[in-house]
Amino acid sequence: MLIAVTLAILGATSSLPKGWALPTWPSAIDELEDLMFLHTGYRARAFSAGVTPCSFSQQGPSRIASAEWLRTAFHDMATGNVFTGIGGLDASLVYELGGNGGENIGSAFNTTLETFSPFFSSRSSMADLIALGVYTAIRSCGGPVVKVRGGRIDATSRGPVGVPQPENSQRTFINQFARVGFNVSDMIAVTACGHSMGGVHANNFPQIVRPGTAPNDFQLLDSTPEFDEKIASNFISSDDPNPLAGPLAKANSRDSDTKTFTADGNVTITELADPATFQATCARVLQKMIEVVPSRVQLTEPIEPYEVKPGNIQLSLAGNGTTLTFSGEIRVRTTVRPASAIAKVDLLFKDRLGGSDCGSCVINTEHKGNADGFDDHFAFYGFSTSLSSATSISGFNVQVTLTTGEVEMYDNNETGYPVQDAILFQPRQSCFRQSNGAGNLTVVAAVRNPVEAPSVTLSLTTKTPRNCCVVPALTKESVAMIEQGSIGPYTFYSISHIVDPAHKPTAKFDVSVGDGEAVKSDSFKSTADLGSTCAPIGSDDPPLPGFSYEGCFTDTVESRALTGAAFVSDELTVGDCANLCGQYQFFGVEYGRECYCGNMKNSESVLVDDAECSMACSGDSSELCGAPYRLSLYKNTEWVPTINPEIPGYNHLGCYNDSASSRALSGTFMYNEAMTVDLCASFCDGANYFGVEYFSECYCGDSLSPTSTEQPDTGCSFFCSGNSTQFCGGSNRMNLYMKETDPARKS
């Protein structure tokens, strides 16, 4: 029997907050948890990139993205009403920009929402992303941890008016904040915390900052751009740079910070001048701010990092139906003890009936990489193995063995990490093809028998741009999948569905079987991860029939591994390069977007570890296209060698240099897109010399220019445009032939 969490676990998690419980996987907040904690390194989601480091952003002069993210959350929340349960932080701001009485002035809101849009999905609502933006912006600028709960539901229309404006009276401010559940002290605190970062732009508020009086017409709200107590200490001192408490704002009745901070006789703002008090109070009131939500919303527990979290888990049926391929990664939190202290990570699994009498029910992993967040660190361990399709798998526990020999056991709060095998997405047999501006999504799933009258469905979610808003709409459509026959204990179902190619980078899809509470799904798959070629159903053949992968090779600009031809594309896939180089013996992909062809590999290019070819292809992130100075090399197993053919009455002299300014042969010339060596010989009609060059060019002459001399054969590696089994020179290089009767012919 698998043991429960050992005492070693307690040591590993002893630094967790009081009352904190290990999350149970999978959870509705899993996508948000990744966005919240995986900032840099392996599998980084980079949600924090827009506010890291905490400084003026690249979006324009005096733009501080962290402050803009915080303002966006406040403006979205501020129209809520805790008494009626309507509004709050619900992403209604999406519909409220560009109007609504001028309550949301400036470009910051649109810019922030555009930044969040790539992370918007069925598992991360825009409202939750806005809330997560508060944690991220504050933490990136040295502020406290603002706890985030998930579960917000996005509004489908604009909300009511009511965002506090600088010209409001003190009484109006008190009433507006009371409407969202804030007393006077909380009102002062959340205003001070919100105004610790950023400033005021003269073009948006000329009554507060006079145009031309500040650098870039922008004035900070306190004496530092970081998140600190200066907004409070500056206010209670005699030297306050805050334009919302300045003379121009006061003259125009827009000194909103003065009205707010003095609402309790300076008591709260004075307390906030203490650094520790400021940080602790801001953590509380900013969490309170993002938890003003409509009454129908039930927020989750605060999001905390998993100690152990599975990811990219995929169970799929192998070709003959007797085995299953089980792959994925295990993410281990290494905040307390470093990755270097971990000797190995293993999966201890149970079969589909919950038993573990499978002999050695252990799956080994290997370290893949490390990632970091603001406060946490993680190590990833990958695995791929074969299991019997008869006994399959129902779940697993994770065993972490430390270098000291100590063992930590993680059992997902005594439930085990579940794996369902009722329906399996088949990644090798699925693909996304693009042709003539159209896209075709083919998805294949395997459903375990027996299933009575199964309802097998593909659900596709795409992002559709909208004229009203900078945030796209999520459009979901469901399509019935069609039975294709049985293999082993599974029946295959497939569907081919027309999809706009523009959706490929962002679309998500699920495959499911059953209805209601009995439904089983293999979910949240990305079309971006699909290859461009589907393997046949029931086959595990590689997606490039006729080619073999040779390995990862070194390559340099000075000495290319392959010199036949080269192409560059921002939509490159391995299959595309194979097609471009179809007439060559070798092709290779490099640096994500470069394709090289050749019939010979440069001997200076040497084999290195496959891990060095780790860059995703620009046109298909599920495929690898080499890396900088590293070439993923493939060989055409059906290639017919290209030769310099024998021409009756002529000898092949070799490869000679040629140029437009100094022709090797100055007689007649022909260009033909169906060029062959035989065709050129016939055209030159008995001339002493003829030569073929640059795929399709033919030159004739009775004498050879003395400036043309023999060059290495590698320079004449272009095949003839009319016959790929013959060489037709190269760039400024000519395959030269000479008449045998010429007494000066080369021996």
Whether residues 33 and 146 share a domain: the answer is: yes
Residue 324's nearest CA partner among 382, 380, 363 is 363
pLDDT along the chain (747 residues), means of 10: 30 40 89 96 91 70 88 97 96 84 85 96 98 97 96 95 95 97 98 94 91 86 91 91 93 95 97 98 98 97 97 91 93 94 96 72 91 95 92 95 96 95 94 80 94 86 93 96 92 94 92 89 92 73 68 90 92 92 90 92 85 87 89 84 85 93 93 92 94 95 94 87 86 93 45
Which residues have C-beta within 8 Å of that of residue 504, sequence separation ≥ 6? 432, 434, 439, 527, 528, 530
Token representation of residue 263: 């609402």
Question: Is 747 part of any domain?
Answer: no
189, 78: one domain: no
Q: Are 333 and 401 in the same domain?
A: yes
Are 715 and 733 spatial neighbours (Cβ–Cβ below 8 Å)?
yes
Q: Which residue has 């003890």 as its token pair?
A: 337
Domain boundary among 576, 601, 636: 636
| SS3 sequence of 45-89 | CCHHHHHCCCCECCCCCCCEHHHHHHHHHHHHHCCCECCCCECCC
Q: How far apart are CA 638 and CA 633, in angstroms?
A: 16
Q: Which of 418, 446, 481 is the last residue of a domain?
A: 418
Identify the CATH number of the domain in which residue 124 sits: 1.10.520.10
Q: Are residues 552 and 513 in the same domain?
A: no
Same domain, 505 and 583: no
Cα 346 from Cα 352, distance rounded (Å):
19
Judge whether 21 lies within some domain.
no
274 neighbors 261 (Cβ within 8 angstroms) = no
Q: How far apart are CA 301 and CA 17, in angstroms?
A: 13
In a domain, 360, yes or no: yes
Q: Are residues 254 and 176 in the same domain?
A: yes
- Helices 275-290 and 184-194, interaxial angle, to 10°? 100
Phi, psi of 689 (to 5 degrees): -135, 150
Residue 88, in any domain of the structure: yes
CA 445 – CA 514 distance, rounded (Å): 13
**What pLDDT shows up at residue 360?**
67
* Residue 260 counted as domain residue: yes
Residue 372 sits at φ, ψ, to 5 deg, of -135, 150
Same domain, 440 and 510: yes
Per residue in 682-697, pLDDT (tens digit) is: 999 999 999 999 999 9
CATH number of the domain where residue 200 is located:
1.10.420
Q: Is residue 2 part of a domain?
A: no
Q: What is the pLDDT of residue 88?
A: 97
Whether 342 and 400 have beta carbons less than 8 Å apart is answered as yes
The verdict on 284 and 179 lying in the same domain is: yes
- Give me the number of domains the chain comprises: 6
Cα Rg, the chain, nearest whole Å: 33
Structural domain contains residue 302: no
Residues 440 and 405 in one domain: no
Helix (H) or strand (E) holding 11: helix 7-12
End residue of a domain, out of 579, 601, 636: 636
In order of 27, 148, 180, the CA distances from 120 in angstroms are: 17, 17, 26
Shared-domain flag, residues 210 and 249: yes
Q: Is there a single domain that holds both residue 182 and residue 266?
A: yes
Rounded distance between C-alpha atoms, residue 330 and residue 333, angstroms: 10
Co-location of 442 and 400 in the same domain = no
Q: What are phi and psi of 446, to 5 degrees?
A: -110, 125
289 alpha carbon, distance to own chain's centre: 30
Task: Give the domain extent around 495.
Answer: 435-529
Burial (CB count <10 Å: 0-12, 13-18, 19+), residue 554: middle
Contact 57, 63 (CB under 8 A): yes
Q: Report pLDDT for 5.
A: 32
